Amino acid sequence: MESTSPGYAITIRVDGPPSAQPVAEITAAITAAGASITALDVVESQIDRVVVDVSCDAHDSDHAQRITAAIAQNPLLTVRKVSDRTFLLHLGGKIEVTSKVPLKTRDDLSRAYTPGVARISQAIAADKEDARRLTIKRNTVAVVTDGSAVLGLGNIGPEAALPVMEGKAALFKRFADVDAWPVCLDTQDVDEIVRTVQIIAPVYGGINLEDISAPRCFEVERRLRELLDIPVFHDDQHGTAIVVLAALQNALKLVKKNIADVKIIMSGAGAAGTAVARLLVASGARNIIGFDKDGVVREAKSDDDIMRKWFVDNCNPGDFNGSISDAMNGADVFIGVSAPNVLKEADVASMAAGSIVFALANPDPEIDPSIARKYAAVVATGRSDHPNQINNVLAFPGIFRGLLDGHIHKITDQMLVAAANAISDCVSSEQLNANFIIPSVFDPRVVTNVAAAVRAAAPKN
């Protein structure tokens, strides 16, 4: 049965006569419709009527409408109002700016603003490094997108990307106490993106690129890293790669296999897929066969981007040239960062004993996880309603906490591998099992350990 999700939570206000037993009728209707009741409150009770607020999780928006219709079919019940709890949460946005200093008196104003602030500006003009010490720069990250590859929604534009970037900023604050701000650009021109980020960079201690489509994202990141003296991190690439590597390390421990010896099949050779492959190779993987929408990745074209050429040069060592079903035969690991329903049940059944399946397409994975678990020893997804969620929030808060605290200017593959090791080490040998290969995003050790690992792995000046 399809899982319900808090992302599609609704609250329904219903009234009916006490003689109709409205609580029992509402509960029965919702349960029969396949929803999960999360709260039920009698908000008003009178002789002739009872008013009930019931909250439940649905599968999707259509399911929420069917739940409401099921209640409304009862002639003794009246649906007064339906509230989408996710939309309610987003009213007015999810983040705000607050002052860290009191502004209650004239003295406060004189120090925080004129005339006192002029002395701070003069100090920074004399030494730009003082901007890190005396302004928000030391703890502030720009979350930059052009809205071209937002979640699984595609090219929906900067305005529609804003709720996602707000959420990212909220996660930065919640997990690493980093002040992040959405920067949604109304352009998809590489030159304009690079120049815009370059000229706003003085405010920030780091740049987090987000939801920019491949292959443009590779060039944007490369050029900004060359231009700026602050770290530039593309989370869709490197955040995903870090958490995949961390989870795979623990999954391989569980099935007693070595990364250098396993056959890895990948679906998806875009930004995330290429970054995952790069980090796996940096960690010792030697046999990766990649697929995209056109089939096996084995030949570079003249107009290919440099990351695509890297994939061709460093993967598919036996020059395999067949279908993904053929490649899955005898494979040890499948990693999908692509699209729904890429695999068939027979594909997973044909894998080697002790197989590992990471079906990470969101919200619908490359294969139904319940089917994959019939054959694979370990299964992970990108969803929160299944065990072993591969979630970038395990990586990016700690990465930036380490970068900012260490005053680190550039990011290396060694730092990314160190971050992955820190995440995997948060799962002890006693905790490790098929349903727990990656720590919880709420484990307080994750950010601390990742930040420390990033600082330790940074090149020494």
> 206, 230, 254: which is the final residue of a domain?
230
Give the model confidence (pLDDT) of 157-206 as tens digits. 999 999 999 999 999 999 999 999 999 999 999 999 999 999 999 999 99
Residue 112 inside a domain? The answer is no
Q: How many domains does the chain have?
A: 3
* CA–CA gap between residue 283 and residue 275 (Å, rounded): 12
* Whether residue 284 sits in one domain with residue 184: no
- What percentage of the chain carries pLDDT values higher than 90? 84
* Whether residue 250 sits in one domain with residue 222: no
Asked whether the whole model's pTM tops 0.75, one would answer yes
* Whether residue 343 sits in one domain with residue 202: no
Pair of tokens at residue 396: 């990016």
- Rg of the chain, C-alpha, whole Å: 25
What amino acid is encoded at 26 in this protein?
I
Give the model confidence (pLDDT) of 254-309 as tens digits. 999 999 999 999 999 888 899 999 999 999 999 999 998 889 988 776 666 677 88
Contact 403, 410 (CB under 8 A): no
Give the model confidence (pLDDT) of 79-119 as tens digits. 999 999 999 999 999 999 999 999 999 999 999 999 999 99
Would you place residue 403 in the very low, low, confident or very high pLDDT band (cuts 50, 70, 90)?
A: very high
Q: What residues make up the domain containing 30?
A: 5-90
* Whether residue 438 sits in one domain with residue 290: yes
> 200, 230, 260: which is the final residue of a domain?
230
* Whether residue 221 sits in one domain with residue 347: no
User: Smallest Cα–Cα separation from 149: which of 237, 277, 280?
Assistant: 237
Residue 104 inside a domain? The answer is no
Instruction: Name the one residue in this structure whose structure tokens are 């980090």.
Output: 279
- What percentage of the chain carries pLDDT values higher than 70? 98
N-to-C CA span, the chain:
56
* Whether residue 287 sits in one domain with residue 206: no
* CA–CA gap between residue 46 and residue 2 (Å, rounded): 38
Residue 292 inside a domain? The answer is yes
Average of per-residue pLDDT across 123-151: 95
* Whether residue 444 sits in one domain with residue 388: yes
* Whether residue 408 sits in one domain with residue 276: yes
**H-type alpha helices, 228-269:** 240-255
User: Smallest Cα–Cα separation from 145: which of 131, 132, 155?
Assistant: 155
Four-CA torsion 274, 280, 284, 289, nearest 10 degrees: -60
Is the alpha carbon torsion for 458, 423, 384, 2 positive or negative? positive
* Whether residue 261 sits in one domain with residue 197: no
**Three-state DSSP state, 421:** helix
| Domain CATH for 179 | 3.40.50.10380
| Domain CATH for 56 | 3.30.70.260
* CA–CA gap between residue 76 and residue 365 (Å, rounded): 41
Output the DSSP codes for 354-412: T-EEEE--SSS-SS-HHHHTTT-SEEEES-TTSSSB--GGGTHHHHHHHHHHTT-----
Give the residue, 450 or 5, on which the prediction is more confident. 450
Residue 117 inside a domain? The answer is no
* Whether residue 317 sits in one domain with residue 222: no
* Whether residue 392 sits in one domain with residue 295: yes
* Whether residue 245 sits in one domain with residue 226: no
* Continuous segment of H or E residues that includes residue 218: helix 216-227
Residue 99 inside a domain? The answer is no
* CA–CA gap between residue 323 and residue 343 (Å, rounded): 11
Residue 315 inside a domain? The answer is yes
| Domain CATH for 330 | 3.40.50.720
Query: Which residues carry out catalysis?
Result: 113, 168
Q: What is the pLDDT of residue 345?
A: 96
